[in-house]
Amino acid sequence: MREYVISESEAGLSLLKYASKMLQNAPKGLIHKFLRNKNIELNGGRADAHRVLSPGDRVAFFLSDETFDRFHDAGEESISYELTLEPERVLYEDDDYLFYDKPWGLLTQRDASGRISLNDMLIAYTGKTGVFRPSVCNRLDTNTSGIVLCGKSVTGLKKLTEAVRERRVRKYYRAVLDGRIDEDMHLVAFISASDGEGRVSVSDRPMSGYKEIITDLSVIRANEEATYAELALITGRKHQIRAQAAHIGHPVLGDRKYGASQEKKGPKRQMLHAYRVELPEDILDGMTVFAPIPADMERCLASSGLSDQGRSHK
């Protein structure tokens, strides 16, 4: 059984629309059947499909984990956000640039789900001041946290976009990986385009349609259970770190899409965080931007015996 509490942003949806959002791969007729058979309940009982939800309402899905995950599109947990930037997550801002510490669960850019994205938040934020309509310049997976670079002006957007495209922006991630890695690694492989399920494949040899990927992995701390590592992107392909880590036998903890164990109790999302960005000299004099390690990653490090209470994770 899965139970969810309706948030302020979800209030106003009908029970049917909410259930359809949560079970996005299920036919509408099947959702109606679940409602009739009390496989979906509202506040402990049967409810009309068109009942409008209020904040604090509880919707329970009495389905097996396998059934729920199949219809829910498991692996990318859905979280609702308001159309506002959180001031404490703004890492830097001036007239041209805004750098934001994206929380996990937030889309970088809008997709077919219609959920609010960071780009939507930026447009709303700058729209209040009449500043040029902004855009994000790099993308993070929904369940990856950390630094997103945004251009607020024509000049800022152009300079950032060109620097990212030309690989003059150095990007570093922190990750908790399954199993022990004892030595730093220079990883070179080849990656496919994503398939119909949004997954990519990695090969050690060049293949038709595959592109080269390069990642430098530096071990911070390790034990028999897990490794805390910093990963520098030399190239920047979709799911590069996640797929390459799984390819070498050390998937990112919590990353169900790329093979992290689901048998043991673990994190709700992949333990991957865009931690540091080094800008080129022609942008803010080569500023280095940091995003603090998020609380859920700190908890994962502690539970894995990898926390370091005596010093910063920088």
Domains in the chain: boundaries: 2-72, 81-166, 169-314
108 contacts 136 by C-beta, under 8 angstroms: yes
Note whether 2-72 and 81-166 share their fold: no
Mean pLDDT of 222-248: 95
Tell me which architecture the domain covering 169-314 has in CATH.
2-Layer Sandwich (3.30)
Q: Which residue blocks in 201-312 are alpha helix, DSSP H?
A: 240-247, 295-303
Helix (H, G, I), strand (E, B) or coil at 116: coil
Q: What percent of the chain has pLDDT over 90?
A: 58
In 3D space, the residue among 22, 120, 24, 134 whose CA is nearest the CA of residue 78 turns out to be 22
The predicted-structure confidence for 66-113, as pLDDT tens digits, reads as follows 788 778 754 444 455 677 899 999 999 999 999 999 999 999 987 767
Beta bridge partners of 288: 278
- Give the Cβ contact number of residue 124 at 10 Å: 14
Residue 131: which pLDDT band, with cuts at 50, 70 and 90?
very low
Bridging pattern class, strands 272-278 and 145-151: parallel
> Based on C-alpha coordinates, what's the Rg of the chain?
21
Task: State the fold for domain 2-72.
Answer: 3.10.290
Mean pLDDT of the chain: 87
What is d(CA 218, CA 182) in angstroms, rounded to the nearest whole number?
Answer: 10
CATH 3.30.1050.10 fits 81-166, yes or no: no
Tell me what pLDDT residue 77 has: 46
